[in-house]
Amino acid sequence: MKLPKSWWWLFLVSLVVIVPFMAPYLTFDPANSRITITSGSLQYPLLVAHIVSAFIALLAGFFQFVDRIRLKNPRIHRFLGRVYVYSVLISGLLSLASIFYAENLMKATSFLILSLAWLFTCWKGYRTAINRQYEEHRKWMIRSFGMTLVAVSARLLVPVLLLLYFILHGFSLPHGMETVIGDVLNVNIWAGLILNFVIVEWVILKK
């Protein structure tokens, strides 16, 4: 089955969202970090390794669903599958370690839930492939990739959440713009996680 054009639009949008976010971290300079870095800690190298391995998982994950590869080049499909699984394992574990540096409990909890869901769905996808349960394997890999895309959807939802905040507060900023942005960034991972979960389960049921 040929993938719809929307899949490739999703691929393009994901790159447009993630590459500019990731670029400052490729300088390996903590001063360019988008979040506050604890001086003298392992936070920055953990963060960079997490972001890079997550990006590799994103790329490998997209091409896992290309039928031209999956059906006609199964060896490449299996290779990409291993790359995806290892990348998720590395990035997910690094994300768990980075939770200890989270700015507040809400952010820490959202990253904890996302990391555990990401690791679990990927592990289920891997186990069903090993056991040759290919239909279940496909379902779990869709779920796993949905967790991979939370990094994209969470950032795309920021303008929506800002607008919602303005509407709920009568288009005023009672505590200033900086506070508003901080509040939105505290919940955008939750919003992306819930949205992707709903979309993924809808896609699975539809199939």
pLDDT digit string (tens) for 94-127? 999 999 998 889 989 999 999 999 999 999 999 9
CA atoms of 52 and 114, how far apart (whole Å): 17
Assign 4 a pLDDT band (cuts: 50, 70, 90).
Answer: confident
**In this model, does residue 182 exceed pLDDT 90?**
no
- How many of the other CB atoms lie within 10 Å of CB of 81? 20
pLDDT at 172 over 90: no
What would the DSSP string read from start to end of 79-113? HHHHHHHHHHHHHHHHHHHHGGG-SSHHHHHHHHH
Instruction: Please state, in angstroms and rounded to a whole number, the distance separating the CA atoms of residues 47 and 25.
Output: 9
State the pTM of this model.
Answer: 0.91
pLDDT above 60 for 151: yes
State the chain's mean pLDDT as an integer.
91
Residue 142 near residue 204 (C-beta atoms within 8 A): yes
pLDDT at 190: 95
Q: How confident is the model at residue 3 (pLDDT cuts 50, 70, 90)?
A: low
Number of helices (H), then strands (E), belonging to the chain: the values are 9, 0
**Mean pLDDT across 1-26:** 88
Read off the pLDDT of residues 20-68 as tens digits, 9 standing for 90 and up.
999 999 999 999 998 888 888 899 999 999 999 999 999 999 999 988 8
pLDDT of 85 higher than 90: yes
Question: Residue 2: what pLDDT?
Answer: 59
- Residue 35 has what pLDDT? 86
Residue 1 has pLDDT above 70, yes or no: no
Residue 169 pLDDT grade (very low, low, confident, very high; cuts 50, 70, 90): confident
pLDDT at 136: 96
